[in-house]
């Protein structure tokens, strides 16, 4: 960067750790590990090409605050985007997009390091012990990264780096929860196969739609945050669900199956949520015998049909609390959607509220976890409104299904289907008010049930 009067020192960003700092001198021996300079990445674009020196300072400050836990990831991405200052020039913006992708990868490295520290609490203590021994010998981490025949090979933990670290691994015996070595794959996405050759992991940046996705994430930060959280929960969904179900602040009465749907970005089944609102059945696992063994069919969930405006209001209130617990940034979106649906219910006769409930199901099936569109994108759901709510929609019932009485009430026409309860030994309790036909299901004649019918079927 020396050509434009900027500092010639490489731009460094602090590595994760709640107490990390950036050394004033790249070669200082008392610095903590740092994330490699994006300018050293062969695919990266020089930071100076993306803006003035103030942009570099702003980005460094934003990432440092994120590493210390002072700001959220979404706010950090917003500050980085603002510092890069996209202008609309295609060539210049492509350069800045690549730089932005590098910063996103560095934030991912910070998140991965925090996760490793959380899973292995003694990892930080051992890391500090190693740093102390390294500093005592007069060799800093920054110098280790700069020495050797190839910086990239050291960054990817090839044979040379692995041999240097093998003695420390044996000394500390530092292994993961399942016994595998923690450095089997490094943060740059490189691991080592059985033949001791570096093997590159697949990254999202390898996908052909990656740049389009980055542009979309800048336009819809809520969708980007939902994507990040769903990917985070997918790393260990069983542990995440256990933390939720044992949390003191999580909403109660939500079936485990619906917590699975929420953290995996699937729509919630309101009938399951409504069924547990006043649950009187103890949840038990269903086990089936098969070939001398047993198969776990999961926990039976008590359901209760959502058929009225009041049913939907209760069920959605509980479901939105659960979604907000896992996706706090969607709180206002869920509240606005509830207000929208209340208007749909209020604008229609109660006899047609079941169609409004079908309209809600169609919307939530399309939105799912909110990674592409939001529940408040009402203009996107016009086709569902026409198909379900309009009188001539393909899912609308025939016009003679409902006959409105003089008093404003509604009486449903009789169905052509046979009443199954009439054909039991107890008979149908509804009598003449039953909408199904009271005929024998064996011979089709009226006046008697199948239990006393003499026709052999």
- The reported pLDDT for the residue numbered 399 is 41
Side-chain-facing half-sphere of 399: CA atoms under 13 Å: 3
Q: Are residues 94 and 148 in the same domain?
A: yes
- The reported pLDDT for the residue numbered 432 is 72
- The reported pLDDT for the residue numbered 363 is 96
Per the prediction, the chain carries an average pLDDT of: 71
Q: Are residues 311 and 270 in the same domain?
A: yes
- The reported pLDDT for the residue numbered 413 is 57
419 token code pair: 């009443």
Kindly indicate the confidence band of residue 55, based on its pLDDT and cuts at 50, 70 and 90.
Answer: confident
- The reported pLDDT for the residue numbered 39 is 45
Which of 2-6, 108-112, 147-151 bottoms out in mean pLDDT, i.e. has the lowest? 147-151
The domain tally of the chain equals 3
118 within domain boundaries: yes
The CA-atom distances, in angstroms, between 317 and each of 11, 222, 245, 323, 342 are 49, 21, 18, 10, 12
For the ranges 207-211, 230-234, 429-433, the maximum mean pLDDT occurs at: 230-234
112 within domain boundaries: yes
For the ranges 34-38, 174-178, 233-237, 280-284, the maximum mean pLDDT occurs at: 233-237
65 within domain boundaries: yes
Q: Are residues 6 and 151 in the same domain?
A: yes
Q: Which residue has the tokens 């930071």?
A: 47
**CA angle, residues 278, 281, 286, in degrees to nearest 5:** 135
66 within domain boundaries: yes
141-150 b/e with 16+ CB inside 10 Å = b? bbeebeeeee
146 within domain boundaries: yes
- The reported pLDDT for the residue numbered 237 is 93
Q: Which residues are bridge partners to 175 per DSSP?
A: 181
* pTM for this model (two decimals): 0.46
Q: Are residues 243 and 326 in the same domain?
A: yes
455 token code pair: 């026709």
Burial class (CB in 10 A: 0-12, 13-18, 19+), 47: buried
For the ranges 85-94, 110-119, 347-356, the maximum mean pLDDT occurs at: 347-356
250 within domain boundaries: yes
| Chosen domain end from 91, 124, 155 | 155
What is the largest distance, in Å, between two alpha-carbon atoms of the chain?
A: 103
CA-based end-to-end distance of the chain? 91
Q: Are residues 140 and 35 in the same domain?
A: yes
CB under 8 Å to 14, separation ≥6 — which residues? 20, 21, 22, 32, 34, 35, 63, 64, 67, 68
Q: Give the domain range for residue 108.
A: 2-155
217 within domain boundaries: no
Q: Are residues 127 and 255 in the same domain?
A: no
Q: Are residues 150 and 267 in the same domain?
A: no
Q: Is 56 helix (H, G, I), strand (E, B) or coil?
A: helix
The secondary structure element, H or E, covering residue 356 is helix 353-367
Beta strands in 125-271 (DSSP E): 190-192, 198-200
- The reported pLDDT for the residue numbered 140 is 33
The secondary structure element, H or E, covering residue 203 is none
65-95 b/e with 16+ CB inside 10 Å = b? bbbeeebebeebbebbbebbeeeeeeeebeb
Q: Are residues 355 and 446 in the same domain?
A: no
Q: Are residues 433 and 312 in the same domain?
A: no
434 within domain boundaries: yes
CB under 8 Å to 456, separation ≥6 — which residues? none
C-alpha–C-alpha distance, residues 338 and 121, integer Å: 42
Q: Are residues 424 and 369 in the same domain?
A: no
129-141 pLDDT, tens digit each = 434 433 333 333 3
Radius of gyration for the alpha carbons in the chain, expressed in angstroms and rounded: 31
| Chosen domain end from 108, 137, 155 | 155
């Amino acid at each position: 960067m020396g050509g434009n009067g900027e500092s010639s020192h490489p731009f460094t960003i602090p590595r994760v750790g709640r107490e990390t700092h950036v050394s004033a001198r790249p070669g200082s021996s008392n610095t903590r590990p740092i994330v490699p300079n994006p300018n050293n990445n062969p695919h990266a674009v020089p930071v100076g090409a993306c803006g003035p020196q103030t942009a570099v300072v702003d980005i460094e400050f934003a990432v440092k605050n994120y590493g210390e836990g002072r700001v959220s990831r979404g706010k950090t991405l917003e500050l980085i985007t603002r510092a890069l200052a996209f202008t609309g020039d295609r060539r210049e913006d492509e350069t800045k997009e690549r730089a932005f992708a590098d910063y996103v990868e560095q934030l991912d490295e910070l998140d991965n390091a925090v996760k490793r520290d959380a899973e292995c609490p003694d990892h930080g203590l051992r890391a500090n012990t190693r740093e102390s021994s390294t500093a005592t010998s007069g060799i800093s981490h920054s110098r280790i990264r700069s020495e050797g025949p190839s910086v990239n090979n050291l960054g990817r933990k090839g044979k040379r780096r692995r041999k240097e670290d093998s003695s420390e691994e044996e000394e500390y015996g530092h292994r993961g929860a399942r016994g595998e070595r923690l450095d089997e794959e490094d943060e740059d996405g490189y691991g080592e196969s059985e033949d001791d050759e570096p093997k590159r992991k697949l990254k999202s940046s390898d996908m052909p739609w990656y740049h389009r996705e980055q542009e979309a994430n800048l336009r819809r930060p809520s969708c980007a945050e939902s994507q990040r959280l769903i990917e985070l929960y997918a790393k260990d969904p069983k542990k995440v669900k256990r933390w939720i179900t044992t949390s003191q602040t999580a909403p109660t009465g939500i079936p485990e199956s619906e917590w699975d749907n929420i953290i995996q970005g699937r729509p919630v089944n309101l009938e399951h949520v409504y069924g547990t609102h006043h649950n009187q059945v103890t949840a038990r696992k269903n086990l089936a015998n098969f070939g001398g063994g047993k198969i776990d069919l999961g926990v039976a969930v008590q359901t209760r049909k959502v058929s009225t405006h009041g049913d939907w209001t209760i069920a959605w209130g509980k479901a939105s609390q659960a979604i907000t617990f896992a996706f706090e940034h969607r709180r206002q979106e869920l509240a606005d959607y509830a207000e929208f649906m209340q208007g749909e219910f209020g604008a229609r006769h109660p006899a047609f509220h079941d169609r409004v409930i079908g309209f809600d199901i169609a919307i939530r099936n399309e939105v799912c976890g909110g990674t592409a569109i939001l529940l408040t994108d009402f203009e996107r759901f016009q086709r569902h409104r026409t198909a379900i709510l309009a009188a001539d929609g393909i899912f609308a019932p025939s016009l003679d299904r409902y006959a409105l009485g003089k008093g404003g009430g509604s009486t449903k026409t009789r169905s052509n289907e046979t009443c199954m309860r009439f054909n039991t030994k107890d008979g149908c309790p509804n009598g003449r008010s039953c909408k199904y036909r009271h005929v024998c299901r064996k011979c089709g004649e009226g006046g008697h049930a199948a239990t006393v019918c003499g026709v052999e079927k």
